[in-house]
Amino acid sequence: MSNFIEGYKNLIKKKPYLESVFTISGVCIFAFLTAYICKVYSTEDVKDTNLVLNEEERNYYEGNYDEAIKELKKKEEKEDWPISLMKQSKIQAVKGDILESNSLAEKAYIQSRISLDENRKLKNKEEVAKLLNDISFTYIMNGEVSRGIEFGELLLDEYSDNENLKKTLATAYLANGEYEKAIEILNSIDINKKDSYELSELGELYLISGDYKRAIELLKIAYKEDNTNVNILAILKEHSENKNLRDFLEENEKDSINNIFLAQINLYDEKLHDDSIIRINKIEDESLLKKVLELQVSEKDSDEGRSSILLKEIEEEYNETYGGAYVLSRMNIKNGNIEDGIHYGNKTIEFNENFGKAYGVLFSEALKNSDNIADSIGTYLREGLEKSPYSVQLIKEIANYYKEKGELLISYNYYKIASKLEPYNASNHINKSILEANLEDVSVAKNTIEDAINIDKENSDLYNFLGVIYLETENSEEAIKNIRKAYELNNDNIKALNNAAVYYTRYEKNIFRAKENIDSAKDMINDNVELKLKETILKNQSLINKTYEEVQNSDSDNFEIENLELLI
């Protein structure tokens, strides 16, 4: 070592500039090694918790819509292709200004035709088709379904190979109740070279169209191609109230994949919950979807220990898949870990940028539970719906969002679409009917529910709501007739018992029957009953019991009870 040091000193004496070279080189090598080591050991700790998905559109993603429009107007002046104009139309729709949104969409179409006529060769065909598809989508989601169909049909003649346009047009046909036309469009889509997610998308469209055979066939292929595709379970969960779908699957329930599908469909039906657990236990394929089913069971049973174990397993085995990242995001957000939820939400999009529920469910839910840019929920709902215009889950999410904002007409338009895409779901018709009662008159709302009953004559909730409408319009005879029918169809209908109690206090002045019904409703309260429903029943019971005691201690049977609430 001493010889080496002596040699080094002699070299520096002869060439003194080398000391600086060695020093700089050493520093550079040290810096490189430090950076490399830090990168290696900190990669897993770096979390993307940024909800702004496009820095150039920061104002849009942060809910600063007026500023976003100002920026787009400046860009519009320099463009011959109306992309910025169409983005303004989208933002106006998110803001709730439907007339302005439609006006800008029409203006964008006119400008696009002028631009194409002047120099068609300069325009990329896909770019043109995307803009025109956005216009069609905007009309449909703004409640102009017939106009969207007319526009879509016109475009399809020119861009017959554009599959996004076909999906949008198929959605429009379904929203208009034209199921055969929708199936015809879907049949023209080539399924070759489609990945698992794309196949599941098509499967849902066929399912909504009523072609269960083709729908299940595509969902099975999707499962075989990728058993981490959580969209398959999301679709089945959303359509679990479809009795025709359940009947179709039960005809071939020995099929191992059908067994998985039935496990999901039956899971949230109280009468079939145990059947679902048996089916889950029979699943031999140790896939992400099986773990997700098990996770849903543990959530439903409030088994936090089991949920924690399953989440850890999903994180270890599936965090590098869009399905695994989606589940981890959803659960973190649900448990209040918003930053981790956003991090996994961004990973979901990284793995599958077309998964509409990542935008419309994960990010909108994160914003609801966060103080950051909470006014931009509409942005993410819209982005999700653009990716998946046929998703009933997203359509209902956005309908509810606008209802809570007081934009009743916009909410009504979305529920109107949902009730066409999912006619067997009573809540769609009930929400639509409530909005009709606010926007038009009660007779229109009553007709909506009667039409829904004609579709599903065994739905207890529909009869209960019809009874409420009759109560509100002072038709007591029809009111109790429908409330009793609701209870006859479902003895566990806690709302019907509550409403019967209100009826007996209001019309028959029978405090004894009222107490009997409200006490029965109270006895049905358990952990699965929604908080608002529970609070209403307990409040009504308190008022009725107080009056009952007063009547018992009085010589008169006359009484009035104010502030009793009906349940729909």
Predicted confidence (pLDDT) per residue in 298-318, tens digit: 998 889 999 999 999 999 999
What pLDDT was estimated at residue 288?
A: 97
Q: Report the CATH superfamily, name and number, of domain 83-190.
A: Tetratricopeptide repeat domain (1.25.40.10)
Query: If you average pLDDT over residues 448-461, what whole number do you get?
Result: 90
Evaluate if residue 121 carries a pLDDT over 90: no
Length of the chain: 568
> What is the C-alpha separation between 104 and 14, in angstroms, rounded?
78
From 179-193, 223-237, 554-568, the region with the lowest mean pLDDT: 554-568
What pLDDT was estimated at residue 442?
A: 85
What pLDDT was estimated at residue 557?
A: 76
What pLDDT was estimated at residue 140?
A: 94
Mean pLDDT of the chain: 88
Report yes or no: 232 and 220 within 8 Å, Cβ to Cβ: no
Evaluate if residue 372 carries a pLDDT over 80: no
Domain map of the chain by residue range?
A: 2-38, 83-190, 397-552
The torsion region of residue 406 among left (phi > 0), alpha (psi -120 to 50) and beta comes to left
Q: Which of the residue ranges 158-167, 205-214, 448-457 has the most confident prediction, judged by mean pLDDT?
A: 205-214
What pLDDT was estimated at residue 26?
A: 46
Question: Pick from 342, 378, 277, 520: which is nearest to 64 by CA?
Answer: 378
What pLDDT was estimated at residue 7?
A: 46
Query: If you average pLDDT over residues 67-83, what whole number do you get?
Result: 93
Q: Report the CATH superfamily, name and number, of domain 397-552.
A: Tetratricopeptide repeat domain (1.25.40.10)
193 burial type by CB count under 10 A (0-12 exposed, 13-18 middle, 19+ buried): exposed
Report pTM: 0.83
Evaluate if residue 24 carries a pLDDT over 50: no
**CA atoms 148, 153, 154, 155: torsion sign:** positive
Instruction: Tell me, letter by letter, the H, E, C secondary structure of 293-314.
Output: HHHHHHHHCCCHHHHHHHHHHH
What pLDDT was estimated at residue 399?
A: 95
Domains 83-190 and 397-552 share a fold: yes
Phi first, then psi, for residue 541 (nearest 5°) are -65, -40
Report yes or no: 296 and 306 within 8 Å, Cβ to Cβ: no
Q: For a pLDDT cut of 90, what percent of the chain falls above it?
A: 70
